[in-house]
Amino acid sequence: MRSVIAIAGAFVALCICVFLALFVGAAHIAANDILWALTHPSSQSVDARIIWEVRLPRICIGLLVGSALGIGGALLQTLLCNPLVDPYITGVSAGAGVAIAIGIVCGIALPWIPAMGFAAGILAAIAVVALSSRAGRIDTQRMILAGLFVSSFLSAVVTIILTRMEPNGATNAIIAWMAGTLSGHGWNEFNWSLPYAALGLALAICALPALNVMRLGEQRADSLGVAVTQTQWLVVASAALLTSSAVALSGMIGFVGLLSPHIARRAVGGDVRSLMPFAALVGAAIVTIADVAARTLAPPGELPIGALIALLGVPAFFFIVLRAGPERARVSAPSPHSVRGRTQLRGKEIA
């Protein structure tokens, strides 16, 4: 019951963020004009066009990106039993980064760039999974390492591309993508990404019951009847699809995938049936409200939303997670009673 109330509360908060995003923008539009425009989508008035061709697609993209990153983070943190994991550990963002940088350098037409980023993100995720697999099963510890290695390698490629280019519009486009932005995309890009995100969500829902049992550890899940390997692949495929969809649309928006599951875990506990929807709502709300801030804090230009979220996300992360302490923070940090915790504590004593 508590979870249902919390999820309903998060939904209301998200609705408020969406209304705010709808009402705030460079052009001032009165509330009754906005409501009129919403009910008359085919109207050719300037207000209706701004609402339907600028603000609404941008809000929908923000909702998709935020919820995809929130769900991806919740899935991977649960699967890997590690609260410090975010969806980019799959290598998706770095893979997409390389493709987008190469695409921009080679002068590939802009509409193809998100698709290239999506495909390269999926390829990078496959490389990470291949490096972390043993006998068909994903070694969760190796996956974190493989994700770091692949991401570092691909980020280095992007850096080299940037340093070898003359400063011009192309470099600015790559930097803007790396900083994250919701501008410049419309319904076409949204409609292109939506099916992949929906497929990722469907895979996540399939994995839900088994993923809950995986919180007891792989061996116990195995003995409780969970198809561990199948669940791992489902979760990683789902996270990769969700993250790729988000990255292709918005570039690299950090911290949402890390922070949303933490907030969700504190509100509704670790049960993924509640954790996932709550993390999706929190992620969507964070991106939506951050986009409002990015659009309005430094007019007439825009702040990069990824950098803005990171700026606000770091203190928020400290406040919500670290300040709460090991007992109140509902994360799977090793306790002094667990074998993992005892080993670490013993290490500290020896040191």
Partner 1 sequence: MTAMLDVRDLRYTADSACLLESANFTAHAGSLTAIIGPNGAGKTTLLRAVAGLLPVHGTVRINGDLTAKMPGKERAQRLAFVAADDTSTDDALTVREVVAQGRYAHRRNAFDRSPIHDRVIDAALNDAQLHDLQHRRLSTLSSGQRRLAWIALGLAQETDVLLLDEPTANLDMHHAQRTLRLMRRLADAGKTVLAVLHDLNEAAQCADMVALIDRARLVAFGPPSEILTSERIARHYGVRVDIVTATDGKPRIFACV
Cβ closest to partner 1, residue 159 vs residue 223: 223
Say how far apart CA 311 and CA 309 lie, in whole Å: 5
Give the number of residues written for the chain. 351
**Tokens matching residue 106:** 């080679």
Residue 139 touching partner 1 (CB under 8 A): no
CB of 318 to partner 1, least distance (A): 20
CB of 225 to partner 1, least distance (A): 3
CB 129 within 8 A of CB 154: no
Residue 344 touching partner 1 (CB under 8 A): no
Region binding partner 1 by CB under 8 A among candidate stretches 11-19, 41-49, 296-304, 325-333: 325-333
Region binding partner 1 by CB under 8 A among candidate stretches 67-75, 162-170, 187-195, 330-338: 330-338
Q: Select the residue interacting with partner 1 from 110, 156, 202, 224 (CB under 8 A).
A: 224
List beta partners, residue 134. 137
Cβ closest to partner 1, residue 33 vs residue 222: 222
Say how far apart CA 101 and CA 124 lie, in whole Å: 15
CB of 12 to partner 1, least distance (A): 23
Residue 47 touching partner 1 (CB under 8 A): no
Say how far apart CA 291 and CA 150 lie, in whole Å: 29
Residue 142 touching partner 1 (CB under 8 A): no
Q: Select the residue interacting with partner 1 from 45, 159, 296, 335 (CB under 8 A).
A: 335
How does 76-101 read in b/e, with b if 16+ C-beta sit within 10 Å? bbbbbbbbebbbbbbbbbbbbbbbbb
Q: Select the residue interacting with partner 1 from 43, 155, 183, 332 (CB under 8 A).
A: 332
Q: Select the residue interacting with partner 1 from 227, 314, 322, 345 (CB under 8 A).
A: 227
Residue 1 touching partner 1 (CB under 8 A): no
Say how far apart CA 85 and CA 94 lie, in whole Å: 15
DSSP string of 126-161? HHHHHHHEETTEE-HHHHHHHHHHHHHHHHHHHHHH
Alpha helical stretches, state H, 180-319: 187-214, 218-223, 228-250, 256-268, 272-296, 305-317
Cβ closest to partner 1, residue 124 vs residue 211: 211
281-310 positions binding partner 1, by CB under 8 A: none
CB of 108 to partner 1, least distance (A): 43
Residue 225 touching partner 1 (CB under 8 A): yes
**Residue 164: burial class (beta carbons within 10 Å; 0-12, 13-18, 19+):** exposed
Residue 7's Cα: distance from chain center in Å? 19
Cβ closest to partner 1, residue 191 vs residue 223: 223
162-221 positions binding partner 1, by CB under 8 A: 208-210, 212-213, 215-220
Q: Specify the 3-state DSSP secondary structure of 255.
A: coil
CB 306 within 8 A of CB 290: no
Positions touching partner 1 (CB under 8 A) are 78, 81, 208-210, 212-213, 215-220, 222-227, 265, 269-271, 273, 327, 330-335, 337-340
